[in-house]
Chains A and B, each alone.
Chain A
Amino acid sequence: MSFLQPILLVGLPLALLPVIIHLINQHRHRTVRWAAMMFLLDAKKMTKGLARLRQLLILAMRVLAIAALVFAASRPLAGGWIGLAGGKADTLVILLDRSASMEQRNLETGESKRSAALERLAGLVDTTGHHSEIILVDSATLSPIVLTDAQALNDLPETGATATAANIPAMLRTALDYLETREAGRTDMWLVSDLRQSDWNPGSGEWETLRADLAARESLRLFLLAFPGIEQENLSLAIREAKRQRAPEGWRLVLDLVLKRQGPGAESGDSEVPVEFTINGTRTVENFRVSGPELVLLGHSLPLSPGNERGWGRLDLPADDNPADNTAFFVFDEPAPRKTVILSDDPLSAEAIRAAAASPTEPGTTCEALVLPSNAVAQVPWQETALLFWHAPLPQSGSADATLLQQHVASGRSLVLLPPSDEGGAGLFGVKWGDWIGGSEEPLPVDWWRTETGLLANTRSGAPLPVAELGVFKTRAFSGEILPLLRLKDDHTMIARVVTEAGEGSSGSSSGSVYLWGTLPRADHSNLATEGVAFFVMVHRALEAGANAVSKARSLVAGKGVLGDDPEVRLLDGLDPDGAPVSPGLAAGAWESGPAGGETRLLALNRPESEDDPRVLTSEALETLLAGVDYRRIDDEVGSGSSLASEVWRAFLVAMALALLVEAVLCLPPRAEGETPNPLKSAT
């Protein structure tokens, strides 16, 4: 329990006064020479139980009354749900989940989970008095900020709404690292979260070290302020892809949409959902019938009027309890040429790839392919290249070639690493080439491939690619942190994607993808070139992913630094739910970068689709994640109006009054004095 005047607690030993007085009284007894011991023994025997209990109760009530008085004078604090055990900490660390799902609101009060948490925490700091230091770590920036005033919590840009996801393990790590460097003393750490599984990432390998580090800090108390409420009948909307296509009648906009329903009735029943389309300021409304929890609408086409070949737009759902997932932004422009560079000294492989990469897949798009020798890295047009095939030993990490490749990927472009024929080279991107496998005339059969995502995912219509027809005679093994996309017999991974720190490498991420192909499109290695469907699709999917980075209209997931260092970034349209200033890149919206009047690029920022996943951590899962960590969970609800701490001195005064009342009742003689038996009257 916390106290506003803890110094007064030094008076707590005064509660022992009744006991001390009682003992002194007992010690100060007088001594009498007595003859009638037989009556005394009888009386003592008969009064041993109840009288003793009564006396103890009286003493206890007196002690309780004084203790309650001292406690009341110390101005104790207690939470709306629980008492906050312990005293005031030296440092208060607030870990704020600012993910889009935290914008769920109470429709009556308009209060969101995030704003409710901020209000509770500000109230807690105000009520408990100032901590020597208040540190804020928000999920969007992961940068510790020192606050001077609790009220600043509500006004800071670092506490505003965002369209980002949260990475709870990273937040905890940031806070722990900060505390480690500052050598903070007694610390209260308040973690605010809606317990979304996607934010907590229970599969992360970071949790093990986090648990150990949290448990090792004895001066740290972890409080989890949770808002696990599930939205009631919430609708969310996401755009997976928006692109401009040429049609016979002119340009058109093709959108891939996902509509999700949450709530009790999401699994059954149909509902008509009106979606408002805004393209370059022009609004139209279209109704969609949603059956079940999800509607995936691929290739939804909208005609673009002349003059609107370039622009931005947004899709809006009717207002519900989470406004952050009702809107999705998109931008579109003339597709940039999809340029592929093949760095290879193997003409057979290079030609097969060039042929596939140079063939356009859609009308209106231009595909180019350039083959260069493996030692001609300097000739690569990095700015225009969407996809690079690297058919050479992996360069040493830190070398100029390695840095160029890393920058290429970091800018959102795609890289395919092909197996060098002889030496594998050093390790890069956390992967390394291994030994060659196969080499006989019998092909290695395909055992499994990933169909839901990646280069070999099923087509939009759901049909699988003819991957099973592939024949692989020779493949090279590789090792590292990878996501397998295709495995051969005997568990040999042939195609994989490198798992990078930037995330899953999806199209919306600002970072590009790195793929590993264990075989080559030449006859002595595989029939990729001859059975070309799968090969063609793989090349163009990698190319399409990288093309987004070189496109003039690019869709990205909101996040810190996603807009880059360009100082000339202008907001075209965006979500500003609270009217609070939000750092560029963290809120959903349509942006334009580049000098005004010059060549500019369009950017659409949206929340990650994982934020629409309503699954929350179960208590058991949370216990597992924080096993061995001393933490206290406080479940709150938006709009409950409760507070984390409030003064409860009145309760102690009431307790004191009750104790005195009970003491008075117990002190009453069991019978009036006149009714005390008179032995002489009765006996004679």
Chain B
Amino acid sequence: MTHDFLDPAVLGKLLGLELNARQPMIGNVAGRHRSPVRGSALEFAQYRKYVPGDDTRRLDWRTWGRTDRYYIKEFEADTNLRLCLIVDTSGSMGYGEPGSTRLDYARRLAGTLAYLAAQQGDATGLYSGSAGFQKETPPRRGPRHLGVLLDQIAGLESAGETGLIQAIHDAAEKIPQRALIVILSDLLFPPEPLREAFQHLRFRKHDVSLFHLLDRQEIDFKFDRPTRFLDLEGGPSLLADPQLIQRRYREAVQRYLGAIDEIVNHSHVDYHRVFLDEPYDQVLARFLLGRNPKTSRSAR
């Protein structure tokens, strides 16, 4: 299966950027990400008082010499990261010209992120689906798994109503340890259920990122004559004179985006509103740089 959604030039450009989690991860092998468990890495973490049973080899004798008290010296433990991609495959993700649909855009983002994570030695998994059809690939490491994952990304098809909320809840239940959850969706459904879904992920201590994929026409709604709108998710079509309803349409979009903003802020979700006419490499670069502690601090 061809993976034409991967652009070597983009991959080459982004390989220099690390994919970091915003919080410590719990991995099963050593890696480049912080772990909440103290380990034997070179980076000092903290001192704590000695309690009976501690390994005496980790006593800090210099501190004992200065203070006549026993302290244990702890170091950060570096581990790998689990990147879980949740891709919405509802019918509305098929919006756009063939070859440059919203789902195609999501493929590019997901495939590139999976490739970058694999290059870092991190595990990647994929959860996708629409209502009544869910597909999942638990996170694993290794080039072979990456090939399988990319094949699955390439084989995603948009159809039916959205099942994103259910997919998020399922992922939250099935991913056993802390992971970086990246959601790619148009979120074209009433946003309120998202709040509970994000809280579910946060409760599981996952680091949640959201790529909200929108087309500018969906926001601006600029049409010059009566148009019949065919629902991509199979609902009834609608004939309307856009000039008559444009104002009300924009008001509805405004209320919707306001609600999304409120939910993602409240849930501490790393939210990225992406328009399909934006180069995806720039979107990813912005995402990666925002997660790099050094660059994000300097930017801040």
Please give, as numbers and ranges, the residues of chain A lying within 8 Å of B223 by CB-CB distance: 32
Q: Are A40 and B244 in contact (CB under 8 A)?
A: no
Taken residue by residue from 87 to 106, chain B's Cβ proximity to chain A (1 for < 8 Å, 0 otherwise) reads as 00001111100000010000
User: A7 contacts the other chain (Cβ, under 8 Å)?
Assistant: no
User: B253 contacts the other chain (Cβ, under 8 Å)?
Assistant: yes
Please give, as numbers and ranges, the residues of chain A lying within 8 Å of B252 by CB-CB distance: 38-39, 42-43, 46
B251 touches which of A28, A44, A677 (Cβ 8 Å): A677
Q: Are A36 and B218 in contact (CB under 8 A)?
A: yes
Q: Are A38 and B245 in contact (CB under 8 A)?
A: no
User: B233 contacts the other chain (Cβ, under 8 Å)?
Assistant: yes
* Complex alpha-carbon distance, A277 and B94, angstroms: 114
Q: A29-B225, A46-B248 are in contact. Are A39 and B253 (CB under 8 A)?
A: yes
Q: Are A683 and B257 in contact (CB under 8 A)?
A: yes
Q: Are B245 and A43 in contact (CB under 8 A)?
A: yes
* Complex alpha-carbon distance, A604 and B120, angstroms: 139
User: B232 contacts the other chain (Cβ, under 8 Å)?
Assistant: yes
Please give, as numbers and ranges, the residues of chain A lying within 8 Å of B245 by CB-CB distance: 40, 43-44, 47, 51
Please give, as numbers and ranges, the residues of chain A lying within 8 Å of B248 by CB-CB distance: 42-44, 46-47
Q: Are A38 and B188 in contact (CB under 8 A)?
A: yes
Report the nearest A residue to B232, measured CB to CB.
A35
Q: Are B257 and A40 in contact (CB under 8 A)?
A: no
User: B230 contacts the other chain (Cβ, under 8 Å)?
Assistant: yes
Please give, as numbers and ranges, the residues of chain A lying within 8 Å of B237 by CB-CB distance: 31
Q: A35-B102, A47-B245 are in contact. Are A679 and B229 (CB under 8 A)?
A: no
* Complex alpha-carbon distance, A678 and B219, angstroms: 9
Q: Are B247 and A670 in contact (CB under 8 A)?
A: yes
Please give, as numbers and ranges, the residues of chain B lying within 8 Å of A489 by CB-CB distance: none
* Complex alpha-carbon distance, A114 and B219, angstroms: 78
* Complex alpha-carbon distance, A418 and B102, angstroms: 122
* Complex alpha-carbon distance, A38 and B252, angstroms: 9
Please give, as numbers and ranges, the residues of chain A lying within 8 Å of B63 by CB-CB distance: none
Taken residue by residue from 221 to 240, chain B's Cβ proximity to chain A (1 for < 8 Å, 0 otherwise) reads as 10101111111110101111
Q: Smallest Cβ distance from A222 to chain B, in angstroms?
A: 52
Please give, as numbers and ranges, the residues of chain A lying within 8 Å of B102 by CB-CB distance: 35
Taken residue by residue from 642 to 678, chain A's Cβ proximity to chain B (1 for < 8 Å, 0 otherwise) reads as 0000000000000000000000000000110000111
Q: Smallest Cβ distance from A33 to chain B, in angstroms?
A: 5
Please give, as numbers and ranges, the residues of chain A lying within 8 Å of B5 by CB-CB distance: none
User: A619 contacts the other chain (Cβ, under 8 Å)?
Assistant: no
Q: Smallest Cβ distance from B145 to chain A, in angstroms?
A: 32
Q: A40-B245, A44-B238, A683-B258 are in contact. Are A34 and B250 (CB under 8 A)?
A: no
Q: A37-B238, A676-B246, A683-B261 are in contact. Are A30 and B254 (CB under 8 A)?
A: no
Q: Are B228 and A30 in contact (CB under 8 A)?
A: yes
Please give, as numbers and ranges, the residues of chain A lying within 8 Å of B249 by CB-CB distance: 39-40, 42-43
Report the nearest A residue to B273, measured CB to CB.
A684
Which chain A residues in 132-175 approach chain B with CB under 8 Å? none
Q: Are A44 and B240 in contact (CB under 8 A)?
A: yes
* Complex alpha-carbon distance, A34 and B254, angstroms: 18
* Complex alpha-carbon distance, A47 and B218, angstroms: 18
Q: Are B226 and A38 in contact (CB under 8 A)?
A: no
Q: Smallest Cβ distance from B253 to chain A, in angstroms?
A: 4
User: A26 contacts the other chain (Cβ, under 8 Å)?
Assistant: yes
* Complex alpha-carbon distance, A32 and B222, angstroms: 12
A55 touches which of B218, B239, B244, B254 (Cβ 8 Å): B244
Instruction: Name, among A35, A40, A41, the residue most crowded by chain B CB atoms within 10 Å (CB to CB).
Output: A35
Q: A43-B248, A47-B245 are in contact. Are A679 and B239 (CB under 8 A)?
A: no
Taken residue by residue from 210 to 237, chain A's Cβ proximity to chain B (1 for < 8 Å, 0 otherwise) reads as 0000000000000000000000000000
Instruction: Name, among A26, A43, A671, A677, the residue most crowded by chain B CB atoms within 10 Å (CB to CB).
Output: A43
Q: Smallest Cβ distance from B99 to chain A, in angstroms?
A: 14
Q: Are A38 and B250 in contact (CB under 8 A)?
A: no
Please give, as numbers and ranges, the residues of chain B lying within 8 Å of A677 by CB-CB distance: 247, 250-251, 254
User: A21 contacts the other chain (Cβ, under 8 Å)?
Assistant: no
User: B207 contacts the other chain (Cβ, under 8 Å)?
Assistant: no
User: B186 contacts the other chain (Cβ, under 8 Å)?
Assistant: yes
Interface of A: prevailing SS: helix
* Complex alpha-carbon distance, A678 and B253, angstroms: 9
User: A680 contacts the other chain (Cβ, under 8 Å)?
Assistant: yes
Q: Are B244 and A32 in contact (CB under 8 A)?
A: no
User: B256 contacts the other chain (Cβ, under 8 Å)?
Assistant: yes
Q: Are B256 and A39 in contact (CB under 8 A)?
A: yes
* Complex alpha-carbon distance, A51 and B228, angstroms: 18
Taken residue by residue from 260 to 302, chain A's Cβ proximity to chain B (1 for < 8 Å, 0 otherwise) reads as 0000000000000000000000000000000000000000000
Which chain A residues in 34-83 approach chain B with CB under 8 Å? 34-44, 46-47, 51, 55
Q: Are A679 and B233 in contact (CB under 8 A)?
A: no
* Complex alpha-carbon distance, A341 and B250, angstroms: 114
* Complex alpha-carbon distance, A676 and B242, angstroms: 14
Please give, as numbers and ranges, the residues of chain B lying within 8 Å of A32 by CB-CB distance: 223, 227-230
Report the nearest A residue to B186, measured CB to CB.
A35
Please give, as numbers and ranges, the residues of chain B lying within 8 Å of A379 by CB-CB distance: none
Please give, as numbers and ranges, the residues of chain B lying within 8 Å of A55 by CB-CB distance: 241, 244
Q: Are B230 and A33 in contact (CB under 8 A)?
A: yes
Taken residue by residue from 68 to 97, chain B's Cβ proximity to chain A (1 for < 8 Å, 0 otherwise) reads as 000000000000000000000001111100
Q: Are B226 and A26 in contact (CB under 8 A)?
A: yes
Q: Are B254 and A35 in contact (CB under 8 A)?
A: no
Please give, as numbers and ranges, the residues of chain A lying within 8 Å of B251 by CB-CB distance: 43, 46, 677
Report the nearest A residue to B230, measured CB to CB.
A33
User: A399 contacts the other chain (Cβ, under 8 Å)?
Assistant: no
Q: Are A31 and B230 in contact (CB under 8 A)?
A: yes
* Complex alpha-carbon distance, A677 and B257, angstroms: 13
User: B64 contacts the other chain (Cβ, under 8 Å)?
Assistant: no
Q: Are A35 and B95 in contact (CB under 8 A)?
A: yes
User: A305 contacts the other chain (Cβ, under 8 Å)?
Assistant: no
Q: A34-B230, A36-B218, A44-B238 are in contact. Are A25 and B225 (CB under 8 A)?
A: yes
User: A461 contacts the other chain (Cβ, under 8 Å)?
Assistant: no
Q: Are A40 and B238 in contact (CB under 8 A)?
A: yes
* Complex alpha-carbon distance, A582 and B276, angstroms: 100
Please give, as numbers and ranges, the residues of chain A lying within 8 Å of B253 by CB-CB distance: 36, 39, 679, 683
User: A109 contacts the other chain (Cβ, under 8 Å)?
Assistant: no
Please give, as numbers and ranges, the residues of chain B lying within 8 Å of A38 by CB-CB distance: 188-190, 252, 256
Report the nearest A residue to B189, measured CB to CB.
A38
A-B contact pairs, 9 of them (CB 8 A): A26-B226, A31-B228, A31-B237, A37-B231, A42-B248, A43-B247, A43-B249, A44-B240, A47-B245
Known: A26-B239, A32-B227, A55-B241. 14 other contacts (CB 8 A): A30-B225, A35-B218, A37-B229, A37-B231, A38-B252, A43-B246, A47-B244, A676-B246, A677-B251, A680-B219, A682-B257, A683-B256, A683-B258, A683-B261
A residues near B, CB below 8 A?
Answer: 25-26, 28-44, 46-47, 51, 55, 670-671, 676-680, 682-684
